[in-house]
Structure 1
Amino acid sequence: MAIFSLWVINKAGGLVYQRNFADGLASLTSNEYLVLAGTLHGIHAITSRLSPMGPSSGVQVIEGESFKMNILLTVTGTKFVLLTSLAEPTADSVLQKVYSIYADAVMKNPFHTPEMPIRIEGFDTRIGALIGTGQT
């Protein structure tokens, strides 16, 4: 069981935060992460319209052969994405805690501009303490 990576995607589909926590994922360039975030944003937008039962919040979990991607969509349109092993049982609660840390450390910071990359040491430190230290 492992948490591999955390992404924060703004409402326009731009990757504003990305951090790896465990080995196991392919090594990607910054540009490749940006493309993946934009693609996921588009998939999420499409899946929110596909529900036969009416309005939907879109895809919440994507499972591959060796990983699981959990997505939390906030009311402001920001997406929190957690890439984990298939057997990780705490992904949903971790995402809720990440959202709480984001609201406290990022949104209350008067020097942060919404929708821009998150470069706040307090956020990074608290995420590291929650999930574990890793590479940036």
Structure 2
Amino acid sequence: MAIHGLWIINKAGGLVYQRNFAEGLAQLTSNEYLVLAGTLHGIHAITSRLSPTGSSSGAEVIEGESFKLTINLTLTGTKFVLLTSLTETTAEVILQKVYEIYADAVMKNPFHTPEMPIRSEGFDSKITTLIGSG
């Protein structure tokens, strides 16, 4: 698998989880990741309104020259974003599994406040098992 990173963006556009899984990615500051997440949130909102048929959930895949962003929007407005190589074909399946782990390890945690940063060793370890270390 060629997975480079995972972001979870809350419904307000705030980055609540970010993790890199590959060496060689640009080293960004936490503030730069927050700006990127907010920008992606805005782009996603705009693309949901551009559909010629009237209804759309927004961009699902954004491809760059050497990477691909796959976006899974949940019913609650939380976005799960996977940064992968262009050849990665299982991103949607992986994002669904990440969402299941999130629902189980984060949302069932009575000490987690919704829409706030995710600080869960259980979530981290399950993501490591699914994707790898980072």
TM-score by structure 1 length? 0.97
- Name stretches of at least 5 consecutive residues in structure 2 with no aligned partner: none
1:79 aligns with 2:69: no
Q: CA shift at 1:23, angstroms?
A: 1.7
Q: Secondary structure of 1:48's match?
A: helix
Q: Secondary structure of 2:125's match?
A: helix
Q: Which moved more, 1:17-26 or 1:33-42?
A: 17-26
- Given that 1:4 and 1:24 are in contact with CA atoms closer than 8 Å, whether structure 2 keeps it comes out as no
> How far does the alpha carbon of each residue in 1:35-89 deviate from its partner, in whole angstroms, 9 at most, with x for none?
0000000000000011010110000000001100000000000000000000011
- Given that 1:5 and 1:19 are in contact with CA atoms closer than 8 Å, whether structure 2 keeps it comes out as yes
CA distance in 1, matches of 2:23, 2:73: 26
List aligned pairs for 1:36-115, cutoff 5 A: 36-115=36-115
- Name stretches of at least 5 consecutive residues in structure 1 with no aligned partner: none
The alignment's C-alpha RMSD in Å is: 0.7
CA distance in 2, matches of 1:53, 1:23: 41
Q: Secondary structure of 2:25's match?
A: coil
Tell me the residue number matched to 1:34: 34
Moved beyond 3 Å, runs of 4+: none
Alignment length (residue pairs): 134
